[in-house]
Amino acid sequence: MDAIRWQGDSLALLDQTRLPVEEVWNDYTDYRAVAEAIRRLVVRGAPAIGVAAAYAVCLAALEFQTLEPRDFRAAMDKAARALAASRPTAVNLFWSLDRMKLTLSAAGGDAGAIPVLIREAEAIHREDIAMNRKIGRCGAELVPPGARILTHCNAGAIATGGYGTALGVVRAAHAAGHVEMVYCDETRPLLQGARLTAWELVKDGIPATLITDSMAASLMAQGKIDLIFLGCDRMARNGDFANKIGTYSLAVLANYHGIPFYTVLPSSTIDMSIPDGSHIVIEERAPEEVTHFAGVQTAPEGVLVHNPAFDVTPHRLLTGIVTEKGVIHPPFTERLAELFG
């Protein structure tokens, strides 16, 4: 299962806004359209945004290849700025753009670098899948037989280069025969849990039960959740992390009920440049995402709306962090510095 395909001189993206009803792939040859696709959540999920942006840099290079070297360089800088402005929270976007910029400079900074840029974007994509597979193996060791797992939003194959982070753990644990049930929060307001996570799980034959976000607490109180695995958009060097809005509430609930709570992420999601979660920019999205449901107005004209796409969970609510280098337990600042500093 995948959502991003490089086709030599164009990029194909599975349109995630149309799932689960339609599986439509869009072709892109213009980096501006890819930036717009990221903004509109045609492609979404921190690692997937990073991979798509890397390929968008290749599209820009192909478009500008006939320019004089100085103009080529200026046009490439402008393209990178436009892509960086698409969404602010997931650090993978900036990590990937920085990696592509360094690659371009090291390869001479002109159009001769195009094959090297394409190889680098493909490497970013391939490495992400490989990291997810390792993450899956590490995380699966935490899952006892008969586990009932709760997840939020979509940290699956289509949110990454392929396979998934939190759903990578679920996939590996399911292959080991340890998953009794995966509860998917629907994830208001854009329903990534209902539209995307439930779709991935049903497609893979993994037992899945959809709940609304507000049902999680009562399931926990009834002892029906054994573990929580969810994704991450940016982790600070002390372990505080941003993820889909609603993650923080789940962390508080898990803490209250004594349920192990793990975030699952590749190293490309760790931002060692910021000391804690207060430095993470949280994306505020359009009010219509809250005032309308499936295109139908559900709130009165004139009401004020607060619509942050993410929240920040303090590291002290985390049981552990599942990465491609293993599962990290507190003290997070020291352990993250040892492994990723």
List residues with catalytic annotation: 233
- Residue 171, interface with ligand MRU (CB under 6 A)? no
Q: Are 211 and 219 in contact (CB under 8 A)?
A: yes
- Residue 189, interface with ligand MRU (CB under 6 A)? no
Of 232, 236, 253, 336, the one binding ligand MRU (CB under 6 A) is: 232
Query: How far is the C-alpha of 286 from the C-alpha of 69, rounded, in Å?
Result: 39
- Residue 88, interface with ligand MRU (CB under 6 A)? no
**49 or 113: CB nearest ligand MRU:** 49
- Residue 192, interface with ligand MRU (CB under 6 A)? yes
The residue range among 7-15, 43-51, 217-225, 333-341 that interacts with ligand MRU, by the rule CB under 6 A, is 43-51
- Residue 198, interface with ligand MRU (CB under 6 A)? no
In sign, the C-alpha dihedral spanning 16, 160, 26, 53 is: positive
> Amino acid identity, residue 183?
Y
Among positions 245-304, residues that touch ligand MRU (CB under 6 A) are none
Give me the least distance between CB of 155 and ligand MRU, in Å please.
4
**31 or 229: CB nearest ligand MRU:** 229
Of 86, 160, 238, 268, the one binding ligand MRU (CB under 6 A) is: 160
Give me the least distance between CB of 192 and ligand MRU, in Å please.
5
- Residue 309, interface with ligand MRU (CB under 6 A)? yes
Residue nearest to ligand MRU (CB): 231
Give me the least distance between CB of 206 and ligand MRU, in Å please.
17
Report the run of H or E that residue 242 belongs to, with start and end: strand 241-244
Under 8 Å CB-to-CB from 98, ≥6 apart: which residues?
none
Of 14, 90, 216, 318, the one binding ligand MRU (CB under 6 A) is: 90
**111 or 167: CB nearest ligand MRU:** 167
Give me the least distance between CB of 48 and ligand MRU, in Å please.
7
Q: Are 34 and 62 in contact (CB under 8 A)?
A: no
The residue range among 78-86, 154-162, 288-296, 313-321 that interacts with ligand MRU, by the rule CB under 6 A, is 154-162
- Residue 168, interface with ligand MRU (CB under 6 A)? no
- Residue 53, interface with ligand MRU (CB under 6 A)? no
The residue range among 39-47, 170-178, 207-215, 333-341 that interacts with ligand MRU, by the rule CB under 6 A, is 39-47
Query: How far is the C-alpha of 177 from the C-alpha of 155, rounded, in Å?
Result: 21
Report the run of H or E that residue 227 belongs to, with start and end: strand 227-230
Pairing relation of β-strands 261-264 and 227-230?
parallel
Q: How far is CA 81 from CA 23, 37, 75, 125, 128, in A?
A: 30, 15, 10, 21, 23
> Amino acid identity, residue 297?
Q
- Phi (first) and psi of residue 189, to 5 degrees: -90, -10
- Residue 159, interface with ligand MRU (CB under 6 A)? yes
Q: Are 139 and 172 in contact (CB under 8 A)?
A: yes
Q: Is 62 exposed, middle or buried (0-12, 13-18, 19+ CB in 10 A)?
A: middle
- Residue 136, interface with ligand MRU (CB under 6 A)? no
In sign, the C-alpha dihedral spanning 135, 321, 231, 182 is: positive
Which tokens in the block code for residue 177? 């025969």
Q: What is the dihedral of CA 163, 169, 173, 174, to 10 degrees?
A: -40
- Residue 131, interface with ligand MRU (CB under 6 A)? no
| Three-state SS at 24 | coil
> Amino acid identity, residue 53?
A
Give me the least distance between CB of 338 and ligand MRU, in Å please.
24
- Residue 153, interface with ligand MRU (CB under 6 A)? yes
Residues at the site binding ligand MRU, with contacts judged by CB under 6 A: 41, 44-47, 90, 153, 155, 159-160, 165, 192, 231-233, 243-244, 309
